[in-house]
């Protein structure tokens, strides 16, 4: 057995430069620490980066997804279709409205919603009367699809958007894993009606906690800006005096200047972060290619993979050990892993509330039994990288 590392290697860690620390310190010294000029700067520069004019910074991607659904007028009489393989945030925001989350299965290679799985879901779980699409189970009106870009590989946005147009559905992308991913020469952030990014600590760039909504709909963008801060018609930074009006019952979802200051520098450094993650992923693929019984992640043939995660699938019938043993053996060697994701239909709340039948999601179930995410982050040293490679090869080789 290999000698264990002296320190624990998590599957992800943020990379915070001295420049970023100084940028945050300047904000702290300025006295303006909540939403202000640095948030405006971050929104503008992020919009320039992805090629979208309407960008709204929020305090989490969950908040962004919630606000996007609120902007399209989702109600308890509605439903939205999303992937069975995602973090709970994607489905929980649908539940905030008392609406129904309808789940698609995923493809067996990248574990994404595809045009084929979306068609199958519409055919089996929905009914079309020529004007609107409804849930067969509840009769609720289906208002949107919410594709999830997983691990950095992009969904087939052209195919999904075409189907959405057929049924008059909004497209709200969960792009928590998709910065800075590209699909068909267009950056993620410019495809759907709304795209929501995450800047959580493990993401491609971080603001600690935070998110960004991009959209081509100007009126919806104004709605989201208003609703992210209590439904007040002017934010504090632009308010000419003490007077303001609450024009709707909004939320407390604004990003702070402290977080945005970190984001401004992280955005500048993002290409270097991506290059390093890509280098590690390619090295993993080269080193693991001869191992039997594991499926390795692939480049995105339709664009640029963000390499947010490095996910492998272990087939216990062929590999030396199964996924769970691999995880335990790596842990013994001080190497962390994670799982992306436990399928939505496996969680007690969703089982109890929506009575999903796991037999309807065979690919998602296969993924759940085999998948594991190995360490992948820009701050990994060559020694960290070698530790992971040597350990995996020893356990599975």
Say if residue 304's pLDDT is above 70.
yes
pLDDT, mean of residues 238-261: 89
pLDDT, mean of residues 172-194: 98
Higher pLDDT, 199 or 234: 199
CA 372 to chain centre: 17
Please report the pLDDT score of residue 239 as a whole number.
60
DSSP annotation of 347: S
- Give the pLDDT confidence of 305-357 residue by residue, as tens digits: 999 999 999 999 999 899 999 999 999 999 999 999 999 999 999 999 999 99
CA 60 to chain centre: 11
Which residues does the annotation mark as catalytic?
203
**pTM of the predicted protein model:** 0.97
The Cα 168–Cα 366 span in angstroms is 32
Query: How would residue 377 be classed by pLDDT, with cut points 50, 70 and 90?
Result: very high
Per the CB < 8 A criterion, the answer to whether 205 and 267 are in contact is yes
The Cα 58–Cα 71 span in angstroms is 14
Average pLDDT, the chain: 96
The DSSP string of 192-260 is SSEEEEE-BTTSSS--BS-EEEEES-HHHHHHHHHHTBTTBSS-TTT-SSS---B-S---B-BPPHHHH
Measured CA distances, 193 to 44, 134, 253 (Å): 19, 21, 20
The Cα 225–Cα 234 span in angstroms is 9
Measured at the CA of 288, the angle between CA 285 and CA 292, to 5 degrees, comes to 130
Say if residue 97's pLDDT is above 70.
yes
Say if residue 237's pLDDT is above 70.
no
Query: How would residue 260 be classed by pLDDT, with cut points 50, 70 and 90?
Result: very high
């Amino acid at each position: 057995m290999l000698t264990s590392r002296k320190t624990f290697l998590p599957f992800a860690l943020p990379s915070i430069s001295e420049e970023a620390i100084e940028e945050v310190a300047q904000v702290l010294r300025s006295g303006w620490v909540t939403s202000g000029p640095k948030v405006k700067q971050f929104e503008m520069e992020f919009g320039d980066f992805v090629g979208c004019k309407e960008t709204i910074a929020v305090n989490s991607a969950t908040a962004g997804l919630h606000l996007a659904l609120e902007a399209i007028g989702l109600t308890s009489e509605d439903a939205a279709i999303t992937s069975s393989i995602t973090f709970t945030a994607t489905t929980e925001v649908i539940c905030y409205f008392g609406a129904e989350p309808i789940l698609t299965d995923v493809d067996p290679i990248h574990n994404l919603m595809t045009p084929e799985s979306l068609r199958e879901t519409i055919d089996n779980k929905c009914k079309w009367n020529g004007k609107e699409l409804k849930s067969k189970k509840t009769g609720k009106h289906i208002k949107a699809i919410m594709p999830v870009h997983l691990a950095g590989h992009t969904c087939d946005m052209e195919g999904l958007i075409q189907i959405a147009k057929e049924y008059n559905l909004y497209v709200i992308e969960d792009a928590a894993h998709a910065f800075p991913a590209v699909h068909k020469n267009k950056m993620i952030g410019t495809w759907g009606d709304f795209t929501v990014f995450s800047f959580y600590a493990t993401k491609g760039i971080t603001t600690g906690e935070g998110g960004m909504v991009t959209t081509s709909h100007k009126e919806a963008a104004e709605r989201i800006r208003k609703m992210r801060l209590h439904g007040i018609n002017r934010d504090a930074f632009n308010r000419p005096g003490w007077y303001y009006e609450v024009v709707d019952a909004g939320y407390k979802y604004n990003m702070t200047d402290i977080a945005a200051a970190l984001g401004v520098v992280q955005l500048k450094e993002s290409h270097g972060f991506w290059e390093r993650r890509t280098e590690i992923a390619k090295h993993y693929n080269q080193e693991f290619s001869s191992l039997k019984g594991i499926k390795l992640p692939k480049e995105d043939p339709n664009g640029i993979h963000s390499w947010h995660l490095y996910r492998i699938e272990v087939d216990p019938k062929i590999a030396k050990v199964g996924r769970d043993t691999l995880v335990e053996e790596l842990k013994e060697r001080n190497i962390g892993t994670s799982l992306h994701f436990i399928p939505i239909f496996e969680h007690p709340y969703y089982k109890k509330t929506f009575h999903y039948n796991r037999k309807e999601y065979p690919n998602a179930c296969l993924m759940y039994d085999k998948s594991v995410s190995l360490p992948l982050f820009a701050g990994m040293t060559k020694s960290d990288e070698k530790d992971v490679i040597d350990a995996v090869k020893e356990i599975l080789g």
